Amino acid sequence: MIKLVATDLDDTLLSKDLTVTEKNLKAIEFLKQNSIILILASGRPYPSVKKVAYDLQNFYPMITYQGALVYDPKNDKKLYGCEIKPEDAKELVRLAKDEGIHVHIYIDNIWYVEVMNEKTEYYKNLTKLEPHRVENFLEFIDRPVTKVLFFDEHERLKALKERLPKDFSKKFNIMFSKPFFLEFTDINVSKGNALKFLTEYYDLKREEVMAIGDGDNDISMIEYAGVGVAVGNATESLKSAANFVVASCDESGFAEAIEKVFNVHF
């Protein structure tokens, strides 16, 4: 029996317009009434995920920054963390500067940028967070960095990803969270590892865990969970890893997954 459901946010639980469908809200209410743990698992920073959680009145621990940090929103306590060393983060910043790519970094749940432009504005609207501008990342970074994000056209980022130095794959977990977001976290970071932590935190078995997602960054948790589900708009690689595929995020795929696994109807 499933006792914990982990779901990605953007393009999974949330529709393309960043709202939650009426049917998905009914599915969330069903989980609450049956004491099923609902874990929000996102590449977003903790403050952004917390806002969504409070809107949904869901106060279980949450997986943030692709699994780099797990927080309890009731007391803002960090339960789990895995971050990039300062010197490694600077290496990524140098690469972005050399390539002329827009870059964001996160330290202690604060979003930092060097320049304010249309990309900054887009990300601000997406996450509902305020950027903090600094003059020079290379001088500023002196603590572990949670996440480094490259923001550019997909083809450009894809080509860059293919020619990254070989040692990068030994230091960083590198993946697309959206076609235009190439994200770098510590090599040991994944939603799957964070979900494993929470499964053990709640003293559950993998067979009692269900995970739902749409992107390649969700594959690790789909593969870890006893039941892994892909929404209809998911990448082909995620669909291949999932136990089954449901409707798209705009067609309440999350709710359909809950209906199927718990044998209910909303």
Between CA 101 and CA 215 the distance in angstroms is 22
Outline where the chain has alpha helix (H). 22-33, 46-56, 86-99, 118-127, 137-140, 154-162, 168-171, 191-201, 219-224, 236-241, 253-262
Residue 211 near residue 12 (C-beta atoms within 8 A):
no
Positions marked catalytic: 8
Phi, psi (degrees; rounded to nearest 5) at 4: -140, 130
Among 132, 93, 95, 128, which residue's Cα sits nearest to residue 111? 132
Residue type, 9: L
Sign of CA dihedral 246, 250, 256, 258: positive
Phi, psi (degrees; rounded to nearest 5) at 99: -90, -5
Sequence-separated (6 or more) residues with CB below 8 Å from residue 163: none
Burial (CB count within 10 angstroms: exposed 0-12, middle 13-18, buried 19+), residue 1: exposed
Residue 135 near residue 114 (C-beta atoms within 8 A):
yes
Per DSSP, the three-state class of 109 is coil
| The residue to which tokens 């076609």 are assigned | 179
